[in-house]
Homo-oligomer: A and B are copies of this chain.
Amino acid sequence: MDAEQAGPGTIRPGGRTARVRAVVLQAAGHALAENGLAHLDLADVAHRANVGKTTVYRRWGTAASLVADLLVDMAEQSSPRTETGTLIGDLKANARLVQRTLSDRRQGALFKAIIAAATCDDRTAGALRRFYDTRVAEWAPCVHQAIDRGELPALTDAHEVIRAVSAPLYYRLLTGGDPLDTTAADRAAEATAAAARAGAYVRR
């Protein structure tokens, strides 16, 4: 098997394949943020990354496949969770991380482009769902710890709590004109913590 065709799991860290993947995915992210998935062109990405077209076509084949791999990489590269010792501290750290990402010019545009693409492309939708599953699983333990500390009801659905922190921030990004600022992030964390304490996320 050609190393160039290997899946992400078989890449040697720091090897040529990993370096090629890194520059190609970075170029793909820039191209997507600028022009959206409809105009994502593998030859253009290869040109931006200064990599041979054949390499890009052979390894990723289609724009949807390239975006799916970009989302795998984004999940791998994203920040580990912060542990503050309290539920509200942990949820605020998570909310601030989401808010910083979405309010960043390039990253915000990238997320908008990927979410827009996912509305009409099942493969991108699946890859996006796996990206969020990874991020939610990374942060869910802060809810389990809050349950252990007696801050939350025992049957609180940790994944629902983490998703509830993100939801108002994504809603602002996609439907609103309101600023995605730290006030919005803190409010998302505080509202979720209050609702969780009141038992709104207890599994039924």
Contacts and interface: CB of A to CB of B under 8 A. Distances in A.
Given A125-B177, A167-B171, 4 more contacts: A38-B38, A132-B175, A166-B171, A170-B171
A176 B167 CA distance: 11
A153 to B, nearest CB: 12
A71 to B, nearest CB: 11
Contacts of A160: 187
Identical chains bound together, number: 2
Contact of A119 (B115, B129, B190): B115
A118 B200 contact: no
* Most chain B CB within a 10 A radius of its CB, from A132, A166, A190, A195: A195
B183 A204 contact: yes
A3 to B, nearest CB: 33
B183 A191 contact: no
Interface of A: 36, 38, 112-113, 115-120, 125, 128-129, 132, 160, 163-164, 166-168, 170-171, 174-177, 183, 187, 190-192, 194-195, 197-201, 204
A28 to B, nearest CB: 17
B183 A175 contact: no
A94 to B, nearest CB: 15
Contact of A168 (B113, B119, B167, B176): B167
Contacts of A187: 160, 200-201
Contacts of A176: 129, 132, 163
A44 to B, nearest CB: 17
